Amino acid sequence: MMIEIHDDINVDEYNKLRVEVGWEIKNPLIVEKAIRNSTIIKKATYDSKTVGMARAIGDGMSYLLVDVVVSSKYQKQGIGKKLVNSIIDAIKNETMAGEYSTINLISIRGMEKFYESCGFEAVPFGYNGKGMRIKIEK
């Protein structure tokens, strides 16, 4: 299987992938803003079909890995790992010599082992406390 990685995604591709894994569709205006404000976007294609994506938002020192999604039909084939590694590589390339960057994420329950296989460590460890989250709804 020849998977290609691209540095873009559009609103329709984004929402289609969400539906394929059982997530809800997001408002296209919000998706467009999220895509525009993403620091790094990676899209996986197979035979010109979008089969996965991942995004990172960040400021050059700290990044948040979000929206790692692989179509249900294409899971367990290394595509997610390829997407995550392409984001890690992009951040490595942007990190200045002698400096470091951090990549944070909140895993969906049950996917922790996948992220550990990509080099992430479960929090808390070292001086890190528990990951935390607040959901704002209107």
Which domains occur in the chain, in start order?
A: 3-117 (3.40.630.30)
In tens, the pLDDT along 35-94 reads: 999 999 999 999 999 999 999 999 999 999 999 999 999 999 999 999 999 999 999 999
Q: How confident is the model at residue 1 (pLDDT cuts 50, 70, 90)?
A: confident
Q: What is the rounded distance in angstroms from the CA atom of residue 61 to the CA atom of residue 54?
A: 19
Phi, psi of 11 (to 5 degrees): -60, -45
Whole-Å CA distances, 65 to 53, 98, 138: 11, 23, 24
